[in-house]
């Protein structure tokens, strides 16, 4: 997994994972794809996940932020929220992602904020709003994750957060 620093977890989340022998901050990352794309998770809880991604390096041939890059940021943030909602005994697996792209961005940093729409026992749905540095909405996404029980061989729950 890619290295991740400065993630803010609520103390009760840290305590839950610590009780299971899991050092959540040490394991936590945006995954290999997120790392290559420069995704940084700034804040993470089941109630709100905030992350950023540079436009540079994530553009399509016309120099605009690639819609797929917005989808990667959205799915990463929504998956993290779903994983934290499910707790250490669940793995969040994305089953539906839709993105509406509102405007193009050519430079700078975009910020995504994921907030829950539905948090159940077997699924979690998050809305992710991605904005440019001026606060203008670039993309609105919705992600639904299946929350399934951890099975032997799945690895640490935090490693499966970014589906």
Q: In terms of CATH architecture, what is 9-147?
A: Roll (3.10)
Q: If pLDDT is split at 50, 70 and 90, which confidence band does 116 have?
A: very high
Per-residue pLDDT, averaged over 149-162, amounts to 58
Q: Which two structure tokens, joined as six digits, stand for 100?
A: 């509406």
**What CA–CA distances, in Å, run from 125 to 51, 79, 84, 114?**
17, 9, 12, 10
Secondary structure tally for the chain: helices H, strands E: 4, 6
- Mean pLDDT of all residues in the chain? 86
- 30 or 137, higher pLDDT: 137
Query: How many residues are given for the chain?
Result: 163
Residues 8, 42 contacting (CB under 8 angstroms): yes
Catalytic residue list contains 75: yes
What pTM value is reported for the model? Answer: 0.83
Taking the C-alpha atoms of residue 48 and residue 15, their distance in angstroms, rounded to an integer, is 18
**What CA–CA distances, in Å, run from 61 to 26, 28, 56, 64, 65?**
36, 32, 12, 7, 9
Q: Tokens 């890059």 map to which residue? A: 69
Catalytic residue from among 75, 127, 133, 159 = 75
Taking the C-alpha atoms of residue 143 and residue 126, their distance in angstroms, rounded to an integer, is 5
């Amino acid at each position: 997994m890619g290295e991740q620093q400065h993630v803010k977890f609520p103390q009760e989340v840290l305590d839950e994972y610590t009780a299971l022998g899991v050092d959540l901050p040490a394991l936590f990352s945006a995954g290999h794809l997120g790392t290559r794309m420069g995704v940084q998770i700034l804040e993470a809880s089941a109630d709100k996940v905030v992350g950023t991604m540079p436009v540079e390096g994530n553009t399509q041939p016309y120099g605009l932020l690639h819609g797929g890059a917005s989808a990667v940021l959205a799915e990463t943030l929504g998956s993290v929220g779903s994983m934290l909602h499910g707790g250490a005994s669940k793995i969040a697996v994305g089953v539906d992602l839709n993105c509406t792209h509102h405007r193009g961005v050519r430079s700078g940093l975009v910020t995504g904020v994921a907030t829950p729409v539905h948090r159940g026992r077997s699924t979690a749905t998050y809305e992710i709003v991605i904005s440019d540095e001026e606060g203008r909405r670039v993309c609105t996404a919705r992600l639904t994750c299946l929350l399934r029980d951890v099975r032997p061989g799945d690895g640490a729950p935090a490693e499966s957060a970014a589906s």
